[in-house]
Amino acid sequence: MEEINLTEVYSYFKARIIYILIAVVVVLIVGNIYTLLIKTPMYQSNTTIVLVSEEKDNFSQSDLQLNQKLVATYSHIIKSRKVVSKVIDNLNLKTSVAALSNNISATAVTDTEIIKISVNSSNAKEAALITDEVARVFSDEIISIYHLDNVSVLDKAEIPKTPYNVNFLKDNVIYLLVGIILSFGGVFIMYYFDTTIKSSEVIEDKFGLTVLGIVPREGKE
């Protein structure tokens, strides 16, 4: 394998620093165009529900254990076709059950009877509206399925003010790193496959010839 002269590599990169900078700037510009004009801002709204005893004045340890066991089951019911399809019909949404279900998440808060419902949407107001409707429809379905009225809304959904998938500082740091990696990688590949003689030392090392003289490069003047 051919040895790489680090000093030579440094000089090669230094001579092409302008191209590296241009490449980084181009990546930054393209990345920001994607973020501002192509990437769809997505908003996330959340609500939390808590499982309570039907007899709120007589809450026993057995009720607590039952609710903790139901949390996992309830989390799956929230994203069920039955619940999601009713939400779509009630709000007259122009989407499919599968698409909306993919934008709904239900996670249980560890060691509690609390379930967090999150909904993602490209429309901030719609995200909050769907979140509250999911919680309401789910609560009605639990009464219908289990004949239990043990679901209570802890925090209602709020309209998100900023998209969760757009962070200009974070995005530009990523674009900067990508630009640096691509530009340095490109220049290194150019160097590696460059077969031109770059110095008299190369001739002496590769061919064992003694250089008697060097003709300097003539400047513009």
Q: Which of 32-41, 69-78, 111-120, 158-167 has the lowest mean pLDDT?
A: 69-78
Q: Starting from the edge strand earliest in sequence, which strands make up the sheet with 114-121, in order? A: 104-108, 114-121, 43-51, 151-155
Instruction: Tell me which of 212 and 162 has the higher pLDDT.
Output: 162
Q: At what angle do helices 168-192 and 6-15 cross, to 10 degrees?
A: 120
**Whole-angstrom distance, CA of residue 76 vs CA of residue 69:** 13
- Residue 37 token pair: 């004009």
pLDDT band at 211 (very low <50, low <70, confident <90, very high): low
SS3 100: helix
13-17, 29-33, 122-126, 207-211: which range is least confident on average?
207-211
Residues of each domain in the chain carrying CATH 3.30.1890.10:
43-155
Residue the block writes with tokens 């509250």: 132
Task: Decide: 160 and 44 in contact? Cβ < 8 Å.
Answer: yes
Give the bridge partners for 107, in sequence order: 116
CA distance 47 to 163: 17
Q: For 43-155, give the CATH class.
A: alpha beta
**Which residues are CB-neighbours of 90 under 8 A, at least 6 positions away?**
133, 137
Q: What is the pLDDT of residue 62?
A: 56
**Mean pLDDT in residue range 143-157:** 87
Task: Point out the least confidently predicted range of 129-133, 165-169, 215-219.
Answer: 215-219
d(CA 135, CA 151): 9
Please report the pLDDT score of residue 177 as a whole number. 96
119 closest CA partner among 132, 110, 108 = 132
Q: Which two tokens stand for residue 128?
A: 């909050």
pLDDT band for position 1 (cuts 50, 70, 90): very low
Is residue 162 over pLDDT 50?
A: yes
Tens digits of per-residue pLDDT, 61-107? 555 555 566 777 888 999 999 999 999 999 999 999 999 999 999 98
Give SS3 for 153. strand
pTM of the model: 0.72
- Give the pLDDT band of residue 26 (cuts 50, 70, 90): very high
